[in-house]
Amino acid sequence: MTTLLGIDLTDRPVLVVGGGPVAARRLAHLRDEGARITVVAPAVCEDVVALLDDVRWEAREVREQDLDGMWLVHTATGSPLADAEVAGWAAARRIWCVNAGDATRGSARTPALTASGEVLVGVVSTGAPDPGRTAAVRDALAEHLRTGADLRRRRRPPGAGRVVLVGGGPGAVDLLTVRGRRALAEADVVVADRLGPTPVLDELAPDVEVIDVGKTPGHHAVPQHEINRILVEQAQRGRTVVRLKGGDPFVFGRGGEEVLACRQAGVPVEVVPGVSSALATPAAAGIPVTHRGTTAAFHVVNGHAGLDEAALTVLRDRSATLVVLMGVSVLAELVGTALAAGVDPGTPVAIVEEGTTARQRVTRDRLDAIAGRAQAVGVHAPAVIVVGAVAAPGLLEAGGAGDAGVRREPGSDETLGP
């Protein structure tokens, strides 16, 4: 009867007999699992050659004594007879043996594996081998681990508390990364913002604590030093703390301060990058922040800080796209500064509100008219302001300004872009 055992191969000698593609695949896994590997085969394929930095190769036929001192043997010679002979030697020496030639005649089987953080799932067949079925079951489990599993620790060793800063993306739930989702599935407590994929909070297990420290513009609900204190204190209680932030934690997110606070308190802290609204909301509105032949750089600023000389230079020289975050409430001032500094009043501007969500809206106009239009249509935060040639309407429409490189059908009366 086959069973599953979580064995640790770190630094343990393992013998692989054979040098073909099957051996190569197993070698790569055994290497990742930390085994000390010897390969015995008269010849090896290219994929094995690529692993020779980490693997000792004996270029000859296998001998019985090669098994001495091994914890595990994997035979994949391509010849069922040769594999059976190696398996027989292994049995006589009481060494576990995976027999690639005939799994039913080895003493161990290689499971189909999927890992999620500290959780490792293996699937084997207890009957006749059926790799397609075990892989399908493994894939279904992997999907469950990615999207729905409750991966919280039930037992918390002392000092196991930690903080994970998760970049939640701009708002759409499916723009939260797979790694971010896994961190949420492991969380005992989630410290959340107002922005980002807040609907995921409703999917958490009912006993996961949610601490809302959300800030609204001009009104800091919970001051940053207090957020830092909460993170440290929760982790010191042994909990896995997810700090769920909008966009990317390090783009105007004060993630750096939270990392420092944790480090100063000796709390382990990890950062999961996120899809930043600075790039994602223009993209979701069909605005490329760079476009071949139009703009080859972008500059991201915080609107509250005003436009500094670098930002104004970018606008005047049209050398880059300017992306302004936190700029809606100060839009009129920003426009005034730009016009006074000599920026072309005809420069295209696009404002993307609530990008990537069902409420996304795009408002466009020339620089000298955008503030009035934004006010007329009631533009509100959160919004990203994009200034520069890429914000022109129709840039990505066939035949539009950005379509310089696309060939026209003969007889077309449309004009080519620059």
Catalytic residue list: 193, 215
Binding ligand SAH by CB under 6 A: which of 18, 382, 388, 402? 382
Q: Which stretch binds ligand SAH (CB under 6 A): 95-103, 248-256, 291-299, 335-343?
A: 248-256
Q: How far is the CB of 164 from ligand SAH (least distance, A)?
A: 16
Residue among 99 and 356 whose Cβ is closer to ligand SAH: 356
Site for ligand SAH in 267-306 (CB under 6 A): 276-278, 281
C-beta closer to ligand SAH: residue 269 or 383: 383
383 binds ligand SAH (CB under 6 A): yes
- Interface stretch with ligand SAH, choices 94-102, 132-140, 332-340, 380-388 (CB under 6 A): 380-388
In this chain, which residue has its C-beta nearest to ligand SAH?
247
Tell me if 381 contacts ligand SAH by CB under 6 A: yes
By CB under 6 A, is residue 198 in contact with ligand SAH?
no
User: Count of residues binding ligand SAH (CB under 6 A)?
Assistant: 23
Binding window for ligand SAH (CB under 6 A); candidates: 35-43, 249-257, 293-301, 363-371: 249-257
What phi, psi does 38 have (nearest 5°)? -115, 135
C-beta of 101 vs 382, nearer to ligand SAH: 382
Which region, judged by CB under 6 A, interacts with ligand SAH, from 29-37, 128-136, 251-259, 331-339?
Answer: 251-259
Q: How far is the CB of 249 from ligand SAH (least distance, A)?
A: 7
Task: Classify burial at 382, counting beta carbons within 10 Å of its beta carbon; exposed 0-12, middle 13-18, buried 19 or more.
Answer: buried
Residue with tokens 């302001």: 385
Taking alpha carbons only, the member of 143, 145, 152, 109 closest to residue 127 is 109
Pick out residues in 161-190 that bind ligand SAH (CB under 6 A): 170-171
Buried b (16+ CB within 10 A) or exposed e, 151-171: bbeeeeeeeebbbbbbbbbbb
Among the listed residues 66, 186, 188, 248, the single contact to ligand SAH using CB under 6 A? 248
In angstroms, rounded to a whole number, what is the distance separating the alpha carbons of residues 18 and 237?
51
What's the min distance (Å) between Cβ of 203 and ligand SAH? 19
Q: What is d(CA 324, CA 65) in angstroms, rounded to the nearest whole number?
A: 69
What x-and-dash track marks residues 304-343 binding ligand SAH by CB under 6 A? ---------------------xx-----------------
Looking at the Cβ atoms of 19 and 180, the one nearer to ligand SAH is 180
Number of neighbours of residue 186 by Cβ within 10 angstroms? 20
CB of 19 or CB of 355, closer to ligand SAH: 355
What is the spatial distance between Cα 147 and Cα 144, in angstroms, rounded to a whole number? 5
Stretch that binds ligand SAH, among 76-84, 154-162, 229-237, 381-389 (CB under 6 A): 381-389
Here's the x/- map for ligand SAH, 345-364, by CB under 6 A: it reads as -------x-xxx--------
Please identify, using beta-carbon distances, which residue of 19 and 170 lies nearer to ligand SAH: 170
Q: Which of 124, 195, 261, 349 binds ligand SAH (CB under 6 A)?
A: 195
CB of 273 to ligand SAH, least distance (A): 10
Q: How far out from the chain centre does Cα 182 lie?
A: 10
**75: which residues sit within 8 A by CB, 6+ positions away?**
16, 17, 18, 82, 83, 86, 87, 90, 97, 98, 99, 100, 101, 106
Of 124 and 379, the one with the shorter C-beta distance to ligand SAH is 379
Residue ranges of alpha helices (H) inside 94-175 are: 131-147
**Rounded Cα–Cα distance for residues 330 and 370 (Å):** 12
Determine contact, residues 139/123, Cβ cutoff 8 Å. Answer: no
* Residue 226: CB minimum distance to ligand SAH, A: 18
The kind and range of the H/E element at 49 are helix 46-49
Residue 126 CB neighbours (<10 A)? 9
Angle (CA) 98-99-104 rounded to 5° is: 100
Cis omega (within 30 of 0) on the bond before 382?
A: yes
Q: For residue 106, which of 75, 150, 132, 141 has the smallest C-alpha distance? A: 75
Nearer to ligand SAH, 163 or 325 (CB): 325
CA gap 46, 209 in Å, rounded:
52
Q: CA torsion sign, 341 to 343 to 346 to 352?
A: negative
Q: Which residues bind ligand SAH (CB under 6 A)?
A: 170-171, 195, 246-248, 251-253, 276-278, 281, 325-326, 352, 354-356, 381-384
